[in-house]
Structure 1
Amino acid sequence: MSDITVSRDAAVLTIAINRPERLNSVTTDVLNDLADLILEAGADPDVRVITLTGTGRAFSSGADLKSGAGGKPGTDTIMAANRLIRAVRDARQPTVAVVNGPAVGVGCSLALAADLVLASSNAYFLLSFTSIGLMPDGGATALVPTAVGRARAMAMALVPERIPASEAVAWGLIYQAVDAEELDAAAKALTDRLATGAPLALAAAKKAVNAATLTSLEGALGRELEGQGHLLRTSDVAEAVVAFGEKRPPKFTGA
């Protein structure tokens, strides 16, 4: 798993996407490996907290547009993302996303799936999907409106713009933003507090809050898989992938 690093500090397990040269974009294999690690950690009684982060200057720039057949992701990537989001939701331990830089596309979805999101002040959140002819996935169509309401969720989906960490806190999209130089210390303070908390109480609280607030997540994952599966076959997405490689705006035709 050279694309992922795993470290352990007492009861805190940290899993980092390790593709800094690609701004931690994720492939199907990376998504499945992340899910495997979280499922394994969830079954380990000695792990009290699971932390997700990225190596380098990004949390994750989203799906690797060149990773699949035909030079674009496929439905296997969507299914792997869904598996990962379920693993994060179902882990008995608190999950903390330490967002050290941009969280884009499915990288944004992954961060928001965590129980607590702690971000650097220079981080931002962006649902960039419609910019490349796709729809939000990774559970974002449930996770985002649950946190910030329909109006802001619709804006993030239809007119995607960067949401700076400070604004994400004000919206209720994430837990906390701190100065970049304070991120590591803040993350350690938060995870140490969780790691010394009552594990059964934390697990029960997490399960209850998720049961009350993420009632639409399974339906969203299914709709995203169906909708994305259709969109991935369109000429608009093919054009977007070519335009991405040529570093120009895509020309969408609705076909």
Structure 2
Amino acid sequence: MTDETVLYALDNGVATIRLNRPDRLNAVTAEMLALLRATLWRAADEGARAVLLTGEGRGFCSGAELSGRGEGSLDLGSSLELGYNPVAEALSKLPIPIVTAVNGPAAGAGAGIALGGDIVVMAKSAYLLLAFSNIGLVPDCGATWLVAKSAGRAKALEMALLGEKMSAQEAMDAGLVARVVEDEAVLSTAQEIAAKLAAKPTLALGMIRAQVKAALNSTLSETLSIEATHQRRAGFSEDFREGVAAFLQKRKPEFKGK
């Protein structure tokens, strides 16, 4: 174990990023958020073709570090603008796919970070918790948008207003996560998915991420236009040429991410 609050490793095209404050269930500080954002962009800059994001120890992320923050008035809006929002934007705008392995509780901002992945794999014993209303706050780190867009208005309001735990199975039933697996299999399952994504045509995957995000707030006509723009770019890629050649030659394609 190291003193670094965010761990990073790049292997075979997969950047594994681990939140590393296990003694605090990976509660995030301002410094940790800045490092997480920088590490996400580092993965893309260093040629990673997929990201696997998880937590060390028995939790994914318990949200903001609250120790010492109960006295006096705080401008929490500034902390969002400077810390949490840039992380949410990085998760959204990264040009490579993200798999989150939710190995334990994902509460508060931790729920937003967990749900910011493209494919969310959740351990059976893990849970989501929008705990904000329990301490007089409102959801942040993109959780409002992510839950409302995935599960709908009713579920978003239920989670945010009541501030109750949502089990992994309930989260999957609500459309918030892709897979629920046994606790001991959460990391290996996420690694398998990330490796599969890293072997696919990276340019196309990045555009798919952007396309789905845009479609959530676009008309059909606007979405058709975005699809045409992206398809034009994909059609000139090396990976498209390789994909067609492999199909015609009846072999497995070897994509380079270009």
Structure 2 length as normaliser, TM-score? 0.79
Does the 8 A contact of 2:103 with 2:183 survive in 1?
yes
**Aligned ranges 1:19-58 → 2 under 5 Å:** 19-44=21-46, 46-58=47-59
> SS where residue 156 of structure 1 aligns?
helix
Number of aligned positions between the proteins: 214
Seen in structure 2, the aligned counterparts of structure 1 residues 29 and 73 have a Cα distance that, compared at 3 Å, is farther
Separation in structure 2 between the aligned mates of residue 214 and residue 10 of structure 1, nearest angstrom: 35
Separation in structure 2 between the aligned mates of residue 129 and residue 18 of structure 1, nearest angstrom: 23
**What is the CA RMSD across the aligned residues, in angstroms?**
1.8
| Structure 1 partner of 2:169 | 166
Structure 1 position 29, deviation (Å): 0.9
| Structure 2 partner of 1:195 | 198
Seen in structure 2, the aligned counterparts of structure 1 residues 109 and 67 have a Cα distance that, compared at 3 Å, is farther
| Structure 2 partner of 1:103 | 106
| Structure 1 partner of 2:139 | 136
| Structure 1 partner of 2:61 | 60
What code does the residue aligned with 2:51 have?
I
Seen in structure 2, the aligned counterparts of structure 1 residues 89 and 214 have a Cα distance that, compared at 3 Å, is farther
Seen in structure 2, the aligned counterparts of structure 1 residues 148 and 55 have a Cα distance that, compared at 3 Å, is same
Seen in structure 2, the aligned counterparts of structure 1 residues 182 and 29 have a Cα distance that, compared at 3 Å, is same
Q: Are 1:206 and 2:209 matched, yes or no?
A: yes
1:9-65 per-residue CA deviation (whole Å, 9 max, x = no partner) reads 211001111101111000111111101111222233x20011111000000000001
Does the 8 A contact of 2:25 with 2:60 survive in 1?
yes
If you compute each CA radius of gyration, which structure gives the higher value, 1 or 2?
2
The share of aligned pairs that are identical, in percent, is 38
Does the 8 A contact of 1:28 with 1:76 survive in 2?
no
Structure 1 position 74, deviation (Å): 3.3
Q: Provide structure 2 residue ranges, at least 5 long, that are not aligned to the other structure.
A: 219-258
What code does the residue aligned with 1:161 have?
E
Q: Provide structure 1 residue ranges, at least 5 long, that are not aligned to the other structure.
A: 216-255
Separation in structure 2 between the aligned mates of residue 151 and residue 69 of structure 1, nearest angstrom: 31
